[in-house]
Structure formats: structure tokens, C-alpha cells
A and B are shown apart, each in its own frame.
Chain A
Amino acid sequence: MTKNKYPLKIFAVVSLVLIALTVIFVSIFGVRTSVEIGGGLQVEVKLTYNNESGQLISDREIAGDYVSQIKKVLSKHGASVDNFVIEDKNIDTYLVVRIAKSKIKNPDTLKSDIAEMLKIDVSRVSDLQSLDSYFSSNIMLYISIAILCVLVVCFFAGWMRYGVLSGVSLMFALLHNIIFSMALIFLTRTQFSLVSLAAVLVSSVLVVFGFTQILERNRENSKSKQYAAHNEDEKLILASKQCKILVIIPIVALILSFVMVCVPVAYVQLAGVSILLCVISSVYSLLFVTPALHVYINDIKNLRAKQKLSTNNISVKK
């Protein structure tokens, strides 16, 4: 008897523990979202000013230094820069810094700290303004409906092609990846933004793509006399090996995420981290959890079939 290469119990424990930890963590600390999703705060710094002789001077060229210094001030106040823009307003230029936090304890102190750090007059720093995003419960509802529809599509596609149990496995692959990716993102306090949402959805669909390829190979191998003696576990391992070409997509995504993490722009780095977490989740879902569940379901199905065939009441041991 070959050792089970897909110990479902271990994977189930890992997934459930992580998800439970995430639920506890989120209920205590909340979810870290970008300004675009959860709103936040913004502060404007006027880059243009009149010098003593009345000439208009612009600090546009040192805006980069201003941003670095503002980051230091914000970190002392327990906040960070989400993104910034440099905008023109009539003849003036402003640096607008956005913070993905809904409240700062001492906003007036923050304002004076920024002015002090930048060595500018405090009148050039605006009061903190609150930002609300357009992201409403309607959008969350649409996303939930979309995920539900995709789950149904996966189930029916898997069922029609490979049988109801494969349909369940396919649906589970998608669902597990979505939940696990979100859990990793929330647990690591990575900022949840639209790019993270896109990464979660795309990685989940790629898991479906990968598992469908494996199921297709598995189906082909099952029909072949060459592999008739193999059990389900072995056939699935063989099919996974035959589909090793699928590793291209996670590798490309990994390289992409590393490159993005190296870009000196905060929201790009955070997007890179989200993609990295989604890749980890998709590899774990595709190569470990879903095959384990698929093999387990098949084993139960075979066991029940044997029990039905058995002519006496003694239970058939595996």
C-alpha cells in the first residue's frame, strides 16, 4: 500500500487554523485598506510661496524630499503614506499626501510637526481633511454575486466534464484560494486595494485553470490501459507531474511581485506583496489542498461502492 501523498488532515488543519487566526485578528485590529477602498485622510503642502522680495518660488524639485520627511512624521503618529499627487491650482503647486487611516490622535500636532520637519511656515500646511471613497456595500454585493456565479460555473463545468465529485473539487479549489488569499492579506496587514482584489480574483481563476488541466490529464490517464493498475492517488500525482508546465504562470507572477516590491512607490510595493501572497495561496491550493480533497472524496466514493457490493455486514477496511 502506498503512503498517502496528500494528507488532507494536515492541510485542512493548516487552512482552518490560518483562517480562524485571521478572523480573530481582523475582529481585533480590523482590515487595512487603501484610501480608494476604505477612505482616509489627506494633507496638502503648498510648494509655491513668495519670498521676501515678492518673487514666486517653487519647491517642486524637492517634493521628493518632502515626501520622505512627511513619511517619517507620519510614522511617529502611527500612520503611513498611501499615495501622493502633485497638483497645480491656478498659479500654485501643491503636494497632496494621502493617508490610509481614518483618524489621527493629534491632528494639530501633526500639522506643526510636518511644518517643522519640512522647515516651512505652518500656514503652508493645510489641516487634515477626511476622505471617503465611492466603495459602498453595493460594490461588495456585486463582488459576492460574481464569486458565487463563478463558483456555480466551475461546479457545472467540472460536473459535466469529469463528474460531480470533480465539479465539487473544482469549486472548492476556487473558494479555498479566494478565502486563503484574503486571509493571508489580512493576517499580514497588507493594505487591501483594488490591485489586491484583482490579484485574488486572477489567482483564483488560474487555480481553476491549473486544476482543470490536471483533471483533464487524469481523465485521459484513467482511460489508458497503461495506468489501469494505478490508484487515484498515483494517477493524480502522475497527472500533476505531466502538467508541470503550469509552473510558468506562478513563476512569472513571482518575478513580477519581486520587481514590484523593489519599486520605490508605496502602493506598488504593497500590490507586489499582495500578488506574492496570492501566488503562495494559489500554489498551496492547486498542488496540495485540492488534490488532497479530490483523492479523499474519491476514496470515500470507492469505499461506499465497495460496501454496497459487499454481501455481508463486515465493514470493508481500506
Chain B
Amino acid sequence: MRTRKGKKGKQSNKLILIAVLSVIIVLGTIFTFVPMQFGSTLYTGVWGSINVSSEVYSGLYAEYDIKGEASKADITSSMETIKQTLAEQGYQSSKVLSIDGKKIRVEIGYPTTNVNGFASAHSALSSVAVGAFEFRSASSGTDYKLVSAKDHIDKMSVGDYNGTTFLTINFNKEGEVKFKELCAASSTIYVYMGKNLQTSFDASNVQDYSQMQLSITDYSSAKDFYYKAKFGSIKVDLNADTAVINTMTSHLGLSTTEGYNILFWLLVALVVTVIIAGFAFIAFKFKVVALLLMPAFLLDAIIAFWIFAGVNVIEINLSSLLAFIVGISLIFTGTIGYMSRISEEYKAGKTIDASILAGTKKARSAMIVTSSILIVIFALLSGIIKNLVSVNLILFVCSLLGAITNIVLLPWFVSIFNKSNKKQGEPFGFKQITVEESQND
């Protein structure tokens, strides 16, 4: 038998949970969507740090001359590396093309409300022609041994070990042999990026010739160095001296230095319309459920934007805005499916409490199965198809959050509301079939 103290304890736990959730939603909304000025620092909100592509905003382009003759295979491989490295920096939908086999052209957009957006984009493009990443046995002259990233490095990664940030470089088999020869030839190894000496280290400290670790002051600098090293490992040599970096826009009536174009506003309008239409439909069919869904939906949006900003691979472009629309439709479909199940139980003659219990149980198993399949599929696709990471990650997050909303949050809000509900199915828009109606059927 449940004691009075036990009942009161459960109720107070619920109130605490609701209070915590409300605080999270309010604070989350503010920090996610509202830009704020703190002295001379502008905080753009989490959503403001998400990159936009040059499809929907003005952008920057760069053209680099290819030094000497380069085969088509080397040019394609280099373009792929440039594209992937830019994608890792958040420029998912960068356009990389080669012009007449003599130039490589790169186009990227830059974040809108992020005051450093232009500078970051410009810096990213400048790094592309940073020059070959090499280890040399001498810092001057031309007679030196070297290990070059394009021929001898397998992979690179950045990590923290014992409080120090390292760039770890793994050599391939040939690279290991060359590196050993390099260390034997000179007591000091010089690290170059094009013409510029980056750092040097003592060769006698090297024990494992299959890999080496460069320690870097902090994680952010290590990441910068890593991106430059990736650009320095491409198969073709790009001429940094003749590189052209300038502004561009892919739409008419728009300045090359700022502005969202009509396509962006149209797609944002579509996203907003889908959200409003979804809530309107739910309000029309299930009345109070629309209100109950709102805090859950807001929480989803907050969590989604924090995830997108955190992973730094989402970029706002045509495909990702489509993914938003489909993802939001998935969430609404789940909600409507869930409430329809409860409605079916209620129409069959059960009380509202019994209908909610039975409907939730049935809807939950269906939701768990379909959401699990979708989550696994989108996670797989995000990992394998690098060109569609934005789309797949958005759909992965929407599937996950949709499952949490329709399996956990909405049923919880519905049951809390129902506890104080005295009007049976009315607030939910449910009607029980009368004896006459069932006879007519």
C-alpha cells in the first residue's frame, strides 16, 4: 500500500523535475537563440556559430595555380583532400573544382552572425596553399634529406596525452625507412610548411620511427596546425604567391560581402511553415497536446543546435535545410501516431486513463523499433558518406530527439496533464463511439 509520505514524495520529485526542465528550457532558449553583448564581446548564440554555405549566403573563393605538370589522378586526389579538410573545419558544402587542369578553385560560405566568420573563412582558404609539409635534415641549402607528407605519411591526428596536446603523425612503410635515415643523417629535424620553418626537434629523442608526435601549446593551435599539415600533404604543389582570394555571391541582387539570398529565406520560411502547420494540425486534432508538445519541441531544438554547434560539421545549405524539414516531419508524425493510438483505445470504449496506458505501451514499442532502425542507419550513413554528413547528422539527431520526445517526454506531459483532467477525452479531442454509431457501422 502506497503511504501518504510516499505519494507526497513522488509528487515533490515530479515538481522538482518540472522546475529543472523549465529552467533548462528558458536558459537554453536564451543561450541558443539570443545574441547578447557583453562589453566589447558579442555572443552570437549557439545557432550563430553554425556555418552557412555559399549557396545561401555570400562567400569567399580562392584560385590556386598548380605548379608544374600534375596528373588528373593527383589533382582529383588533392581536391578530395582539400574538400575533406575543409569539411572537418565546418565547411561541409565547399565547392572544389579544377579549371583546365591548371588551377584549383575553392568556394566556401562563412557564418552569418559570427564576427570572426569572414576572418576564419579567409584563414581557411589561405592555408590551402600553405605549401608542402616536410621534415628536413637541414634548414638551408638544397642538399638535405627529407620526408614529405604527400608520399610518406599515412595519417595524422590531434590528441591530448597527460595534459599536453600532440599532433601524432603515422608514417607509411616507406616513410618509416626515410624517417629513420633522416634521423641518422642529422641531429636536428626541421619541420617545414612550404618555405616556412614551423619548428624543429632533436632527432636523438626519436625512438619509434613509425610515428612521431609534435607537441603544440594548446588544442586550438594543434587543430590549426593539423589542418595546414593536411593541406600540405596534397599531391599537387599550389603556388601560394599567385593565390587569389576574394568575395563572391551565387545569387543576383545580393552583395558579394554580405547577405542571405532569397533561397535561404524561402527554405527558412518552409521550415517555419512546417513547424507552424504541424502544431496547427496537432492542435486541431488533439487540442491540448499541441501545448504539451511545445516545451518538448523547444527542448529538442536547443539540444539539436548545441549538438550541431559542438560537432562543427553541420553547414546550412539546400540539402541540410531539406533534412531539417524531413526531420521535423518525422517528429510530428511520431506525435500524431502516438496520439492516434490513444484515440483508438478511447474510441473502443476504454477510460482515458486506460487508453493512455494502453496506447502509450503500443505506440512506444513501434516508436522504439522504427527510431532504432533510423538512428542506426543515419549514424552509419554519416560515418561513411562524408559528402552528406550534414544531412545524415541532422536526420540522426531528429530521429533521436523525436524518439525521446514521443517515447519519454510527451507521454510524461500527457500523464501529468491527465492527472488533473476531469473532462475525460475532451481536452485531447477524443470522442468515444456511441452505441448508435457502432450499430450504424
Determine the main DSSP class of A at the interface with B.
helix
Determine the main DSSP class of B at the interface with A.
helix
Chain B residues with CB below 8 A from A199, complex form: 322
What's the minimum C-beta distance from A238 to chain B, rounded to whole angstroms?
13
Q: Interface with B: A23-31, A107-115, A204-212, A285-293, which one?
A: A204-212
Q: What residue in chain B is nearest A212 (Cβ atoms)?
A: B370
Q: Tell me the count of chain A residues lying within 8 A, CB to CB, of chain B.
A: 65
Question: What CA separation (Å) do A129 and B104 show in the bound complex?
Answer: 12
Asked whether, in the complex, the Cβ of A252 is within 8 Å of the Cβ of B247, the reply is: no
Query: Is A197 an interface residue when CB atoms closer than 8 A count as contact?
Result: yes
Question: What CA separation (Å) do A275 and B99 show in the bound complex?
Answer: 30
Asked whether, in the complex, the Cβ of B387 is within 8 Å of the Cβ of A139, the reply is: yes
Asked whether, in the complex, the Cβ of B336 is within 8 Å of the Cβ of A245, the reply is: yes
Q: What residue in chain A is nearest B399 (Cβ atoms)?
A: A209
Asked whether, in the complex, the Cβ of B256 is within 8 Å of the Cβ of A209, the reply is: no
Asked whether, in the complex, the Cβ of A85 is within 8 Å of the Cβ of B388, the reply is: no
Which listed residue (A63, A67, A205, A259) contacts B377, Cβ 8 A? A205
What's the minimum C-beta distance from A283 to chain B, rounded to whole angstroms?
15
Asked whether, in the complex, the Cβ of B322 is within 8 Å of the Cβ of A248, the reply is: no
Question: What CA separation (Å) do A87 and B256 show in the bound complex?
Answer: 7
The answer to whether A131 and B263 touch (CB under 8 A), given A142-B384, A194-B387, is no
Question: What CA separation (Å) do A188 and B79 show in the bound complex?
Answer: 31
In the complex, number of A-B residue pairs with CB atoms less than 8 Å apart: 176
Question: What CA separation (Å) do A146 and B440 show in the bound complex?
Answer: 52
Asked whether, in the complex, the Cβ of B332 is within 8 Å of the Cβ of A248, the reply is: yes
Q: What residue in chain A is nearest B332 (Cβ atoms)?
A: A248
Query: Is A74 an interface residue when CB atoms closer than 8 A count as contact?
Result: no
Q: What residue in chain B is nearest A83 (Cβ atoms)?
A: B250
What's the minimum C-beta distance from A97 to chain B, rounded to whole angstroms?
12
Chain B residues with CB below 8 A from A10, complex form: none
Asked whether, in the complex, the Cβ of A161 is within 8 Å of the Cβ of B369, the reply is: yes
Chain A residues with CB below 8 A from B256, complex form: 86-88, 93
Asked whether, in the complex, the Cβ of A248 is within 8 Å of the Cβ of B326, the reply is: no
Q: What residue in chain A is nearest B79 (Cβ atoms)?
A: A134
Q: What residue in chain B is nearest A64 (Cβ atoms)?
A: B252
What's the minimum C-beta distance from B369 to chain A, rounded to whole angstroms?
6
Asked whether, in the complex, the Cβ of A132 is within 8 Å of the Cβ of B72, the reply is: yes
Asked whether, in the complex, the Cβ of B381 is within 8 Å of the Cβ of A150, the reply is: yes
Query: Is A143 an interface residue when CB atoms closer than 8 A count as contact?
Result: yes
Chain A residues with CB below 8 A from B172, complex form: none
What's the minimum C-beta distance from A142 to chain B, rounded to whole angstroms?
5
Asked whether, in the complex, the Cβ of B263 is within 8 Å of the Cβ of A265, the reply is: yes
Q: What residue in chain A is nearest B366 (Cβ atoms)?
A: A216
Asked whether, in the complex, the Cβ of B319 is within 8 Å of the Cβ of A195, the reply is: yes
Chain B residues with CB below 8 A from A208, complex form: 373-374, 377
Query: Is A202 an interface residue when CB atoms closer than 8 A count as contact?
Result: yes
Question: What CA separation (Å) do A154 and B376 show in the bound complex?
Answer: 10
Q: Which residues A136-159 have CB closer than 8 A to chain B?
A: 136, 138-139, 142-143, 145-146, 149-150, 153-154, 157
Q: Tell me the count of chain B residues lying within 8 A, CB to CB, of chain A.
A: 67
Asked whether, in the complex, the Cβ of A256 is within 8 Å of the Cβ of B248, the reply is: no
Asked whether, in the complex, the Cβ of A130 is within 8 Å of the Cβ of B99, the reply is: yes
Q: Which residues A101-135 have CB closer than 8 A to chain B?
A: 129-134
Asked whether, in the complex, the Cβ of A198 is within 8 Å of the Cβ of B274, the reply is: no
The answer to whether A213 and B250 touch (CB under 8 A), given A132-B97, A246-B333, is no
Task: Indicate with 1 or 0, residue by residue over B217-255, a CB within 8 angstroms of chain A CB atoms.
Answer: 000000000000000000000000000101111111100
Chain B residues with CB below 8 A from A59, complex form: none
Asked whether, in the complex, the Cβ of A149 is within 8 Å of the Cβ of B249, the reply is: no
Query: Is A234 an interface residue when CB atoms closer than 8 A count as contact?
Result: no
Query: Is A49 an interface residue when CB atoms closer than 8 A count as contact?
Result: no
Query: Is B124 an interface residue when CB atoms closer than 8 A count as contact?
Result: no
Asked whether, in the complex, the Cβ of A134 is within 8 Å of the Cβ of B96, the reply is: yes
Question: What CA separation (Å) do A195 and B391 show in the bound complex?
Answer: 10
Asked whether, in the complex, the Cβ of B97 is within 8 Å of the Cβ of A131, the reply is: yes
Which listed residue (B100, B249, B326, B377) contacts A150, Cβ 8 A? B377
Chain B residues with CB below 8 A from A252, complex form: 274, 325-326, 329
Chain B residues with CB below 8 A from A143, complex form: 384-385
What's the minimum C-beta distance from B312 to chain A, rounded to whole angstroms?
20
Q: Which residues A231-260 have CB closer than 8 A to chain B?
A: 243, 245-246, 248-249, 252-253, 256, 259
Chain B residues with CB below 8 A from A138, complex form: 80
Q: Which residues A39-98 have CB closer than 8 A to chain B?
A: 39, 42, 63-64, 67, 83-90, 93
Asked whether, in the complex, the Cβ of A268 is within 8 Å of the Cβ of B318, the reply is: yes
Query: Is A99 an interface residue when CB atoms closer than 8 A count as contact?
Result: no
Asked whether, in the complex, the Cβ of A87 is within 8 Å of the Cβ of B83, the reply is: no
Query: Is A299 an interface residue when CB atoms closer than 8 A count as contact?
Result: no
The answer to whether A131 and B98 touch (CB under 8 A), given A85-B107, A89-B246, is yes
Chain A residues with CB below 8 A from B83, complex form: 134
Asked whether, in the complex, the Cβ of A149 is within 8 Å of the Cβ of B384, the reply is: yes
Asked whether, in the complex, the Cβ of A87 is within 8 Å of the Cβ of B247, the reply is: yes
Question: What CA separation (Å) do A253 and B326 show in the bound complex?
Answer: 8
Question: What CA separation (Å) do A233 and B388 show in the bound complex?
Answer: 38
Task: Indicate with 1 or 0, residue by residue over B63-88, a CB within 8 angstroms of chain A CB atoms.
Answer: 00000000010011101101100000
Asked whether, in the complex, the Cβ of B388 is within 8 Å of the Cβ of A194, the reply is: yes
Query: Is A271 an interface residue when CB atoms closer than 8 A count as contact?
Result: yes
Asked whether, in the complex, the Cβ of A85 is within 8 Å of the Cβ of B249, the reply is: yes
Question: What CA separation (Å) do A146 and B385 show in the bound complex?
Answer: 7
Chain B residues with CB below 8 A from A275, complex form: 322
Query: Is A176 an interface residue when CB atoms closer than 8 A count as contact?
Result: no
Q: Could you say which of A67, A157, A205 has the most chain B C-beta atoms within 10 Å of its C-beta?
A: A205
Query: Is A35 an interface residue when CB atoms closer than 8 A count as contact?
Result: yes
Q: Which residues A263-312 have CB closer than 8 A to chain B?
A: 263, 265, 268, 271, 275
Question: What CA separation (Å) do A202 and B327 show in the bound complex?
Answer: 10
Chain B residues with CB below 8 A from A146, complex form: 380-381, 384-385
Asked whether, in the complex, the Cβ of B263 is within 8 Å of the Cβ of A149, the reply is: no
Chain A residues with CB below 8 A from B329, complex form: 248-249, 252-253
Asked whether, in the complex, the Cβ of B246 is within 8 Å of the Cβ of A87, the reply is: yes
Q: What residue in chain A is nearest B378 (Cβ atoms)?
A: A205
Listed from nearest, the 7 A-B pairs whose CB atoms lie closest are: A134-B79, A87-B248, A146-B384, A216-B366, A132-B98, A198-B319, A64-B252
Q: List 22 A-B contacts (CB under 8 A).
A: A36-B97, A64-B253, A87-B247, A88-B246, A88-B248, A131-B97, A132-B98, A142-B386, A146-B385, A153-B377, A157-B376, A161-B369, A198-B391, A199-B322, A202-B326, A216-B365, A249-B330, A252-B325, A253-B326, A259-B270, A263-B263, A268-B263
Measured CB to CB, the residues of A under 8 A from B are: 35-36, 39, 42, 63-64, 67, 83-90, 93, 129-134, 136, 138-139, 142-143, 145-146, 149-150, 153-154, 157, 161, 194-195, 197-199, 201-202, 205-206, 208-209, 212-213, 216-217, 220, 243, 245-246, 248-249, 252-253, 256, 259, 263, 265, 268, 271, 275
